[in-house]
Amino acid sequence: MFGFAKRIFIFLAINLLILVTLSFTLNLLGVGAYFTARGIDYGSLMAFCLVWGMGGAFISLALSRVLAKWMMGVVVIDPATQDPALSGLVNTVHSLARAAGLPKMPEVGYYPSPEVNAFATGPTRSRALVAVSAGLLERMDRAQLEGVLGHEIAHVANGDMVTMTLVQGVINAFVMFLARVIAFFIANRGRDEDSSVSPNYLVIFLLEMALSALGMIAVAAFSRYREYRADAGGASLAGREKMIAALEALRRSSEYVDLTGKASLATLKISGRRRFSLFATHPPLEDRIERLKAAV
Instruction: Give 82's DSSP letter.
Output: -
What is the spatial order of strands in the sheet that 118-121 belongs to? Answer: 75-76, 107-111, 129-133, 118-121
Catalytic-role residue among 152, 208, 248, 286: 152
Cα–Cα distance, 78 to 108 (Å, whole number): 8
Strands 35-36 and 39-40: antiparallel
Judge whether 152 counts as a catalytic residue. Answer: yes
Separation in Å, CA 249 to CA 31, 102, 195, 204: 53, 27, 65, 46
Cα–Cα distance, 206 to 219 (Å, whole number): 20
| H helix count then E strand count, the chain | 10, 6
Cα–Cα distance, 288 to 279 (Å, whole number): 17
Count the helix, strand and coil residues of the chain and give each as a percent rounded to the nearest 5.
Answer: 65, 5, 25
Strands 129-133 and 107-111: parallel
Cα–Cα distance, 15 to 33 (Å, whole number): 22
Phi, psi (rounded to 5 degrees) for 269: -85, 165
Length of the chain: 296
Residues with catalytic function: 152
